[in-house]
């Protein structure tokens, strides 16, 4: 299941006010989890989002080598 930045933002809002209900982009919802559960979920979501972004935009590298001579 792919989480989005919007899902991460919703978890951040809930961490500020843990009495709210959270509804994710795929229709799932969650109510009143403990602070520890929310922090664990946020860490998992952030890791997944970061992983997805790194695959979508690979780091640019360069090659060191001989230049063709004329």
pLDDT at 61: 57
Q: Which residue has the higher pLDDT, 16 or 42?
A: 42
pLDDT at 67: 58
CA–CA distance from 14 to each of 24, 33, 42, 43 (Å)?
Answer: 12, 9, 10, 14
Say what percent of the chain tops pLDDT 70. Answer: 67
pLDDT tens digits, residue range 26-57? 888 877 667 888 889 899 999 988 887 777 65
Domain ranges of the chain: 5-56
The verdict on pTM exceeding 0.85 is no
pLDDT at 43: 93
């Amino acid at each position: 299941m792919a989480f989005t930045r919007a899902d991460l933002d919703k978890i951040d809002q809930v961490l500020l006010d843990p009495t709210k209900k959270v509804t994710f982009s795929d229709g799932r919802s969650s109510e009143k989890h403990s602070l520890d559960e929310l922090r664990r979920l946020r860490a998992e979501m952030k890791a997944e989002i970061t992983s997805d972004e790194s695959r979508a935009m690979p780091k640019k590298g360069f090659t060191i080598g001989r230049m063709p001579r004329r």
